[in-house]
Structure 1
Amino acid sequence: MKKPEVTEQPGGDPPSRRGRPPEPIGEDVGVAHRTWLEPVRDRLVASGLTLDELVCRSGYSKTRLSELLRGKGYYPGWEITYSVVKALDLPPWPLRRLWTAAAREADKNQGWIENRIRAVQPLGPELPPVAHLGLTQIMRGPYTAYARAFLQSENRAQRAVGETFDILWLTWDEAVAVPDTPRHAWQLLRARVMSRAAQQDGHPDLRQAAFATVAQAGIADLAERKTRIDTMADFFDAIARLPQDQMDVIVLRHLCGVRAEAVPGIVGLTPAMTHTLDHHARGALTGLYLRTGTTVTIDTLE
């Protein structure tokens, strides 16, 4: 990534970046639109380019580029979006997928989307960084299982995971600059899943997962099945109220069936820390359900 250009200040003061950050994104900008717009804006600020220089590189007017960067007015076509992507030397493939998802969020029909994409020259081969490709191959399975537990839909889970990998590629320079890239990737996934998950009193709502769990038990009696669903729904609600890292470990281990030795690499924590999180979570759940007299424990899920 190109380093920001700086200018020397009088009196020996530290150099400053040229230009200034764009005006804030509009409050009415949708979640999917904001997902690709924020990293584009961050890249512009980091590049040191002024808006006038972006005009020269993209071929679009200052007014139109300013509107694009604020998310103001109509959802931008792929032509102008691609011109900014190219000017900032961003990978176009993940951004086009994110742009397409946001176009659907903005109620653009498939014909409009396809026409805008055809107006831009082919992007060429899709070549993500090798390390990024390796991470996606290893993490796609457990990431999708985790997303499915909260979103209760294979399509929604795959969209959240795909979006995570595209954002990760789009911001790969940042991802490899942090001390722990797997931890960074996991936190990115969790944020994408939680932004889509139903909420209950400020916590993700895991109660729908109780239906799938009880269904797998094959209980024939309707009254018994309902009682079991109610009990499991309360239990899953308690899991969702755990601290985030404890919740993640419990969901991966006991709802997704991930092996204990694999969990540290997925969440980007040490085996000792993961074991401690699991231990504390089990203790919190056991103490809660002993007080209420319910006999369900975390081992019931295994």
Structure 2
Amino acid sequence: MARAINGGRGVADRGLQRFSDRPERRLALTFDAFDAHHHTLWLRYAHTQVGSRAAAETVVDALCARLLDDWPHALVQESVPQYAWAVLKEEVARWLREHDLEPVLVDTAAFLAAIRKLLLYEMRDQFAVLQGEIGLYAAISRLPERQYDVVVLRYVLRIPDEVVAEYMGIEVATVRSHVRHARRRLAKDLDVRETKTEE
């Protein structure tokens, strides 16, 4: 399944034109399969950071172009999904820098529901006061990078722990540890009592 980028030509189409002999053509096809499997999640993550679907598509197009250009190198990495994740984060950071913006967390309803689950069930009244405050977003943005990524992937994008671990190149137990630390840090930062929630 080719993705439309750069005037409607798909990633694999560009790769197949550039890779004319049979082994190189296979490389382009393996890239297209990898892209087809991960593309939606890349777009969803980029959208949470850059604030619009169009900007997310620009970021993911840049990611795909970089991966395709460097695909043989990517394939020899210990984890191709982890390598692609690192490149995606670089492209998100580049786009934000070029537009002089900070990351945003979009889809407020889903985000707030996710954080409600992350932090607390019992203190809904206190949390209702926080919902309209920018402090909630600021608290998330102040998390260490890995905790931030785990929170966004696991709670906002609802990615299973095993997939989060694969993308980030860590163990599932480490994903859960990041969740515990993020929960404690957010509860402290927001001055709310941490409650026991499902991990």
Give the CA deviation at 1:257. 2.4
Give the CA deviation at 1:124. 8.4
Give the CA deviation at 1:167. 0.4
| Match 2:94 to one of 180, 183, 195 | 195
Q: Is the 8 A contact 1:214 1:228 kept in 2?
A: no
TM score, norm. by length of structure 2: 0.67
Paired position in structure 2 for 1:37: none
Residues 1:93 and 2:14 are matched in the alignment: yes
Give, in whole Å, the separation in 2 of the partners of 1:192 and 1:269.
21
Amino-acid identity (%):
22
Q: State the aligned residue count.
A: 164
Unaligned runs of 5+ in 1: 1-90, 95-121, 218-226
Q: Is the 8 A contact 2:47 2:55 kept in 1?
A: yes
Q: What do residues 236-281 of structure 1 show as CA deviations (whole Å, max 9, x unaligned)?
A: 2211121111111111122222233332223332212222222211
Higher relative contact order, chain-length normalized (CA < 8 Å, sep 6+):
2
Greater than 3 Å deviation, 4+ residue runs:
122-131, 202-205, 214-217, 227-230
| Match 1:283 to one of 177, 184, 197 | 184
TM score, norm. by length of structure 1: 0.46
Give the CA deviation at 1:170. 0.4
1:134–1:230 Cα change, 3 Å: same
Give, in whole Å, the separation in 2 of the partners of 1:203 and 1:159.
15
Give, in whole Å, the separation in 2 of the partners of 1:261 and 1:284.
23
Give, in whole Å, the separation in 1 of the partners of 2:165 and 2:139.
23
Give the CA deviation at 1:198. 6.8
Q: Is the 8 A contact 1:253 1:263 kept in 2?
A: yes
Residues 1:205 and 2:106 are matched in the alignment: no
Give the CA deviation at 1:163. 1.4
Q: What do residues 147-193 of structure 1 show as CA deviations (whole Å, max 9, x unaligned)?
A: 00111111111121121112011011221232222211101001111
Q: What do residues 71-97 of structure 1 show as CA deviations (whole Å, max 9, x unaligned)?
A: xxxxxxxxxxxxxxxxxxxx9926xxx
1:214–1:124 Cα change, 3 Å: closer
Paired position in structure 1 for 2:119: none
State the secondary structure of the residue aligned to 1:169. helix
Q: Aligned letter for 1:241?
A: R
Give, in whole Å, the separation in 2 of the partners of 1:254 and 1:154.
20
Paired position in structure 2 for 1:163: 62
Paired position in structure 2 for 1:179: 78
RMSD: 3.6
Q: Aligned letter for 1:172?
A: W
When Rg is computed on C-alpha atoms for both structures, the one with the higher figure is 1
| Match 2:144 to one of 228, 239, 243 | 243
